[in-house]
Structure 1
Amino acid sequence: MTEHKRRALGGALTLAVVVGLTAAAPHGGDPASRDVAAETARGADHARLRALVHRLTTVDGGPGALLEVRGGRATTVLTGGVADVRTQAPVRPGSRFRIGSMTKPFVATVLLQLVGEGRVALDAPVERYLPGVVRGHGNDGRKITVRQLLQHTSGLPDILDHLRPGDVLKDPLAHHDLRDLVDIALAHPPTFEPGTGWRYSNTGYLLLGMVIEKVTGHAYGTEIRRRVIAPLGLRDTYVPGDSGRIPGPHPRGYARTGKDAPLVDVTAINPTVAGPAGSMISSGTDVNRFLDALVRGRLLRPAQQREMTRTRPTGNSDGRAYGLGLESRPLPCGGRYWGHTGDMLGYETAAGATADGRRQATVMVNVDPGGSDAQSDDMKAAVRTALCGDRR
């Protein structure tokens, strides 16, 4: 990816919300000394997080940023920069935003619930559920399994290689049919034989949305609402369908159309262009709650939980490994965390949760990365720092 020149926008950082209860000191030793040490560690942790949010809205050129950290009964929200470059309104705690590929764990959860119910077989060919859909130019649904779609080992060409942001922005409110998007991708040859490699492909999740619809008789969004959103009480989370609106408080979303080009407001966009690969809207609070429930096994049966967390290396130098709709990355304080990242025109998101459920963190910047790795790297650094807390 090419490096884009950073725009320095006003990045006044705010410790927006800190809510929590301080745990009682354990028996033995001097409670006052331990309290001072713990408070010092928490202060250093907050300073590191504030510095990263400030960097996102200055050096990295993001208009605004939000970081929400959940640990036990305590929640911390940090915001920086602006939600609207025209009015200079600040980013509000509790804001909603497009979560892009963070949609994929929601879709994978529904699909794996169907596996647990015996309605879908992980290692069955896609052809069983979508006869004749995956065909042409070397793509063959008889040779690709549901598991391979979930884990990005199908070799299918990625729709995003053949649907450019500039094309979408020509008519941002246009409806995009799932089958039409799939056909655009399948007009190109696969990148490798199914099961012989790993390459991220949004096309696989478009097909998984179609599988959910075929098996249940309902749209994938209906099943996500019924099976995940409603049971967890996620009040800020939506599968918006054709609506270009983001309900409730939200920052404007911006895109970079080229190096040194001004930011373009792309808040209003028909999310069917991303569909089950990346259309959802949520908040830091809800994403953290969802990830907590998911990693703790509250949404899947044990067998399907094990399948979701059986990972394979992606070949990335950062140690990322991919399961079924969920990825793991190493933590600098030891161990690994579970989560996902997401880009959608106007927004970038990264989120993660420690496997023990101790902490969750979600970070959002209201501009897509535009080919720059720096913003993405700093967002992932913020998640890692938040999840480690004062464990150094």
Structure 2
Amino acid sequence: MVTVTAAALAVSSTLPTPAAQARGSSGEVVRQGLHRLVQEDRFPAALAATTGRDGRTHNYTAGVADLTTGAKVPVDGQVRAGSNTKAFTATVVLQLVGEGKVALDAPIERYLPKLVRGEGIDGRRITVRQLLQHTSGLPNYTEFLGDFSTYRHTYVAPRTLLDLALAHKALFAPGTRWSYSNTNYLLAGLLIEKVIGRPLAEQITQRVIDRIGLRHTAFPGVGDERIREAHPEGYYPSKPGGPLTDVTELDPDWAWSAGQLVSTPSDLNRFFTALLGGRLLRPAQLAEMRRTVPAESGLWPGARYGLGLVSTPLSCGGLMWGHGGDIPGYRTRTGVTTDGRAVTVAVTADPTPTPKTPDHAQPLLDTTLCTRGPDSPPSPARSLMNRH
């Protein structure tokens, strides 16, 4: 987990509630859930996409896209996807494993010699698997970035970020514990570039985004601060519970392989569905990705972390898979079941505008996936909530 001042990339701690015994449709559950996010949690906007076993996707919105103009929330608008990027990065690494170019249990030293060194830190003792699973013990560089305003419009190179982390001692011996660290995925990005000899953004685009037709997902170029397609504005409270500042435009390079992607709720559904469905990885590598360790200490009760993939028990039985992500201005939560059902919820402020109110986005995934029955059209009387 990362701190507020470190610009959270990780999945935030939220306490899932048991799925409601919904009497209505899954669509009504989503509409009510988004309404709660806007009215109780005070997020300016909330968006969601649900995908059924038949592959059909429904999109929902609530709130306003712009607090100044009151503009409508764009249907399936683009948002900064934050740490969902880790699942993309892990996918590329595992593709390289399947191609025989990377060994999961080899030390990172093999690919990035003499780079990973520090107090209690030795790249000869940290494996690729431990990086992808957050069991390396490496300090989290985002905890040392300082106040968000000081680097919002600043390009920070990956090597500078790595040096920031390596200036601090190891959290624990590799493989002995679990602790979320964006530094792990920074190194995974550097690994990809070293092995292939090409830019990370190009490889994620070619190997994942283009391969499964994610038309509204992109890895922003260096210094590109804009969100290029229709999107709701993203907001950041200057202090807990304080006024919201529009931070839609920012330089996301400091997030890089750990959290730089821009996407939409429906594209994130498509990605995780394709990933779990075996369209991006060979069976052996997908099986490795789904081998998990307990991660409750940094996520939520029952959560387990694989290789760039989180599993969470559903209150109705079974598991949902995904990741989720936080980055200043936007929060996303993703959940996919192995039978092809998926839901992504996005909100347009991070950290939470009302810090004493539990974040209801994560529990909404459980409630939606555990609701039975077909979708139904929205109530015309509910002006804040629309299905598109």
C-alpha change, 1:334 and 1:47, in structure 2 (3 Å) is: same
Q: Write the mapping of 1:289-328 to structure 2, written as runs, cut at 5 A.
A: 289-316=270-297, 318-328=301-311
Distance 1:311 1:46 in 2: 31
Count how many residue pairs are aligned between Structure 1 and Structure 2.
Answer: 351
Q: CA deviation at 1:45?
A: 2.9
Q: CA deviation at 1:186?
A: 0.9
Match for 1:256: what amino acid?
Answer: P
Q: Which residues of structure 2 form unaligned runs of 5+?
A: 5-21, 374-388
2:211 alignment partner, SS class: helix
Distance 2:45 2:304 in 1: 29
Q: Which residues of structure 1 form unaligned runs of 5+?
A: 5-40
- TM-score (normalised: structure 1): 0.86
1:267 aligns with 2:248: yes
Match for 1:279: what amino acid?
Answer: Q
C-alpha change, 1:375 and 1:120, in structure 2 (3 Å) is: farther
Q: CA deviation at 1:373?
A: 6.7
Match for 1:190: what amino acid?
Answer: A
Distance 1:99 1:339 in 2: 12
Distance 1:375 1:291 in 2: 29
1:345 aligns with 2:325: no
Distance 2:72 2:195 in 1: 44
Residue equivalent to 1:62: 43
Q: CA deviation at 1:42?
A: 7.9
Identity %: 50
Structure number with greater CO (CA < 8 Å, separation at least 6) is 2
Residue equivalent to 1:122: 104
2:130 alignment partner, SS class: helix
C-alpha change, 1:210 and 1:386, in structure 2 (3 Å) is: same
Residue equivalent to 1:94: 76
C-alpha change, 1:238 and 1:388, in structure 2 (3 Å) is: same
Match for 1:78: what amino acid?
Answer: Y
Distance 1:48 1:374 in 2: 24
Structure with the higher fraction of residues in helix conformation: 1
Match for 1:343: what amino acid?
Answer: D
C-alpha change, 1:376 and 1:189, in structure 2 (3 Å) is: farther
- 4+ long deviations beyond 3 Å: 41-44, 370-377
1:77 aligns with 2:76: no
C-alpha change, 1:133 and 1:69, in structure 2 (3 Å) is: same
1:241·1:271 contact (CA, 8 Å) conserved in 2? no
2:132·2:307 contact (CA, 8 Å) conserved in 1? yes
1:369·1:375 contact (CA, 8 Å) conserved in 2? no
1:232 alignment partner, SS class: coil
Residue equivalent to 2:125: 143
Q: 1:192 aligns with which of 158, 172, 180?
A: 172
1:159·1:181 contact (CA, 8 Å) conserved in 2? yes
RMSD: 2.0
Distance 2:354 2:135 in 1: 26
Determine which structure has more spread, i.e. the larger CA radius of gyration.
Answer: 1
Q: 2:156 aligns with which of 168, 176, 181?
A: 176
Which string of whole-angstrom CA distances, capped at 9 and with x for unpartnered residues, describes residues 228-272 of structure 1?
111111110001032101111001111012134211111111110
1:106 aligns with 2:88: yes
C-alpha change, 1:94 and 1:45, in structure 2 (3 Å) is: closer
Residue equivalent to 1:210: 190
Which string of whole-angstrom CA distances, capped at 9 and with x for unpartnered residues, describes residues 43-63 of structure 1?
343332222111111111101
Q: Write the mapping of 1:234-253 to structure 2, written as runs, cut at 5 A.
A: 234-242=214-222, 243-253=224-234
Match for 1:97: what amino acid?
Answer: V
C-alpha change, 1:383 and 1:221, in structure 2 (3 Å) is: same
- TM-score (normalised: structure 2): 0.87
Residue equivalent to 2:337: 354
Match for 2:150: what amino acid?
Answer: K
Match for 1:161: what amino acid?
Answer: E
Q: 2:134 aligns with which of 152, 161, 165?
A: 152
Distance 2:370 2:57 in 1: 15
Which string of whole-angstrom CA distances, capped at 9 and with x for unpartnered residues, describes residues 74-128 of structure 1?
3222211111110011211120010000000000000000000000010010111
